[in-house]
Chains A and B, each alone.
Chain A
């Protein structure tokens, strides 16, 4: 079971890295989203799923018996939310780049670094 999950993590991450290396900004974004999915699956595997009992203390006892590890689940939930937030912000930036340049090619977006463009000479007097 562990080997299966490990192989799945490896496959997802390899696909994600392949996409991040692309020049298309949308592919980069999807690749980053996929990469965080791979990391979440890794966290899930690390949580050791040999037990499937919910972590609830049985009546009449004062400690937990065999149960699934709730901490790993909490970590994954947090990581999903963070990954989602970052993907949304990155999507906004990519959308902005597309509107500004009409292109999703990383080369056209990255090449625009003119340190002394006239609009910059008098920054922010609005």
Chain B
């Protein structure tokens, strides 16, 4: 859930920065949240498997990507 919140903040900042590309406060916040997100994504992928295909665990003997559930099958 934390990953979702941080990623959503980045989506929102992304669109804001598209039309306010020199807003220093938004730029700083983007950088800060982006760093936090990297850490949380790594933790998430360790527990639940890859969020993108690049999340495949090094040395894993099977392809994790095709393991369920898919996002529309989650019960939160």
A binds B: no
